[in-house]
Amino acid sequence: MSFENLNLNPSLLKAIAACGYTEPTPIQAQAIPQVMTGQDLLASAQTGTGKTAAFVLPALHRILSTPAKPGRGPRVLVLTPTRELANQVTEAVRTYGKFMRIRSGAILGGMPYREQLQLLDRPIDLIVATPGRLIDHLERGRLSLGRLEMLILDEADRMLDMGFIEPVEKIAAATPANRQTLLFSATLDARIAKLAGNLLKEPATIRISPKQITHDNIEQRLMVADNLGHKMKMLHSLVSNDDLERVIIFSATKRDTETLAQELAAGGHTVRALHGDMTQGARNRAITDMRRGKVRLLVATDVAARGLDVTGISHVINFDLPRFAEDYVHRIGRTGRAGAMGIAISFASPSEQGFLGRIEKFTGKQITHHMIEGLEPRTSMRTASAGRSPGRSGAGNGGRAAAGPGRAPGKPYSNRRNEQAAPAVYRKKFAAK
Ligand code: AMP
């Protein structure tokens, strides 16, 4: 299958070629022809599968191939749960639409109203929005959705989790009944089925199953930790290795994100925090610094990192295991993007045993145990994969870089930092836990 077979407008094919894509991903190959028939679509696909292009390309094709109705407001509306994801979709629209004339824009919370009002005042082809701010404009009568042709919900499961269901249904109710609706979600559970039942008409369904997307090009590793101090020592040890070129470290709370970032900065690393309490400007700066290679480490919460698309992330480290298995898949999908290899390392303490079980059940994959020489855990965890011999530096596994963070074979991994006690700042900040 090639993009030429999909009968997309030549200006889109030119943009795809400029991106260097040689063939459509499975979700693109299945969704694009389906959307081009005009039928509604319910698709389960996670981030990292190429799902953004799977809806942006046919949406742009529609804008190019059918005349616009007169009036104000967008022809295509993409709703996303977070601003980061909205920015990423906006960027994709810019990339794939760069050889066509298109008026597009974003309507996001935390941004000035003035520019948004100017945007909404004129005919516009495509808007990417978060539901909260859009409903605000709608309720104040500043947004007309009367000529909308296509409504796209991206990461609908996350929108449900974040309580956006009411605004989404209100927005949909303000659009023409004959619109085409596409719903993308990481999972298709009963809640999504109910939402789909309300919003979609006889949709085609496409499933890109989690097994297909817990990518073969991401090596998943588990490191058992005795406690927080042990996790911190392992983190310091890992990030001290230059093989970790660009790293996203996930932690459970906004406060821990800040604490870890400070701790790593004190250790001489270039690092930024990324969490939902930061202003939009600060969040954008952190992502841009990572993209441009100004910082090597980004410590993030799940919500802030959703949809984050930075190429060249060599490693993801889960300082804490996520509570939801879906989040695990999202997190590790930050690495191994666009065909590159990636390594995802998860720390797990005995109290996180339940989360680990759920993740392994969801992905259908056992995560292999690894250890860092000199930092072996005293505790063990009974997991599906615990019975296998753990990877360990110099532990008779044929010299495979099992315990190292992707080091070249033969390159020693252990380092002196392993011997250090948990750093003082860290001990103090986490003492209350
Ligand atoms: P997404 O799942 O939409 O977040 O996309 C994941 C990454 O895959 C993005 O960095 C895209 O630029 C890239 N991508 C999308 N489609 C293709 C393709 N057909 N071939 C190679 N890379 C792609």
Question: Does 80 contact ligand 1 (Cβ within 6 A)?
Answer: no
**How far apart are the CA of 385 and the centre of ligand 1, in A?**
31
pLDDT on residue 357: 86
Joined together, the tokens standing for residue 309 give 């698309």
Which of 1, 8, 13, 21 maximizes ligand 1 atoms within 8 Å of its Cβ, making it the mutation to test the pocket? 21
Ranges of the chain with pLDDT below 70: 48, 209-215, 304-307, 338-339, 382-433
**How far apart are the CA of 50 and the centre of ligand 1, in A?**
4
**How far apart are the CA of 90 and the centre of ligand 1, in A?**
14
Can you tell me the distance from the alpha carbon of 334 to that of 318, in angstroms, rounded to the nearest whole number? 12
pLDDT on residue 311: 81
Can you tell me the distance from the alpha carbon of 238 to that of 248, in angstroms, rounded to the nearest whole number? 12
Question: Does 304 contact ligand 1 (Cβ within 6 A)?
Answer: no
Domain spanning 3-211: CATH superfamily: P-loop containing nucleotide triphosphate hydrolases (3.40.50.300)
| Ligand 1 atom closest to 19 (CA) | 12
- Residue appearing with tokens 């610094």: 289
Can you tell me the distance from the alpha carbon of 10 to that of 353, in angstroms, rounded to the nearest whole number? 52
Strand boundaries in 45-173, DSSP class E: 73-79, 104-107, 123-129, 150-153
Residues of the chain with CATH 3.40.50.300: 3-211, 214-432
Write out pLDDT tens, residues 138-147. Answer: 999 999 999 9
Write out pLDDT tens, residues 309-364. Answer: 788 899 999 999 987 777 888 899 888 876 678 999 999 999 888 889 888 877 87
Question: Does 25 contact ligand 1 (Cβ within 6 A)?
Answer: yes
pLDDT on residue 384: 43
pLDDT on residue 213: 52
Question: Does 337 contact ligand 1 (Cβ within 6 A)?
Answer: yes
pLDDT on residue 215: 66
Which of 60, 82, 152, 337 maximizes ligand 1 atoms within 8 Å of its Cβ, making it the mutation to test the pocket? 337
Which residue from 332, 55, 133 is spatially nearest to 213, judged by alpha carbons?
332
**How far apart are the CA of 183 and the centre of ligand 1, in A?**
18
Q: Whose CA is nearest to atom 15 of ligand 1?
A: 50
pLDDT on residue 329: 85
Question: Does 336 contact ligand 1 (Cβ within 6 A)?
Answer: no
Question: Does 215 contact ligand 1 (Cβ within 6 A)?
Answer: no
pLDDT on residue 23: 84
Can you tell me the distance from the alpha carbon of 362 to that of 211, in angstroms, rounded to the nearest whole number? 9
Q: Whose CA is nearest to atom 19 of ligand 1?
A: 24
Neighbours of 133 (CB within 10 A): 20
DSSP string for 367-411: PEEEE-TT---SS----TTTTSPPEETTSSSTT--TTTTSPPTT-
**How far apart are the CA of 95 and the centre of ligand 1, in A?**
12
Question: Does 99 contact ligand 1 (Cβ within 6 A)?
Answer: no
pLDDT on residue 209: 64
Q: Whose CA is nearest to atom 22 of ligand 1?
A: 338
Residue 370 host element (H or E): strand 368-371
Which residue from 379, 368, 364, 40 is spatially nearest to 180, judged by alpha carbons?
40
Q: Whose CA is nearest to atom 16 of ligand 1?
A: 50
Question: Does 335 contact ligand 1 (Cβ within 6 A)?
Answer: no
pTM over cut 0.75? no
**How far apart are the CA of 21 and the centre of ligand 1, in A?**
8
Question: Does 308 contact ligand 1 (Cβ within 6 A)?
Answer: no
The CATH code of the domain at 214-432 is: 3.40.50.300
Q: Whose CA is nearest to atom 10 of ligand 1?
A: 338
Joined together, the tokens standing for residue 146 give 């009367």
Write out pLDDT tens, residues 195-249. Answer: 999 999 999 999 886 544 556 789 999 999 999 999 999 999 999 998 899 999 9
Question: Does 50 contact ligand 1 (Cβ within 6 A)?
Answer: yes
**How far apart are the CA of 288 and the centre of ligand 1, in A?**
19
| Ligand 1 atom closest to 46 (CA) | 2
Which residues pair with residue 107 across a beta bridge? Answer: 129
Can you tell me the distance from the alpha carbon of 25 to that of 88, in angstroms, rounded to the nearest whole number? 18
Q: Whose CA is nearest to atom 11 of ligand 1?
A: 50
Question: Does 42 contact ligand 1 (Cβ within 6 A)?
Answer: no
| DSSP 3-state of 369 | strand
| Ligand 1 atom closest to 337 (CA) | 7
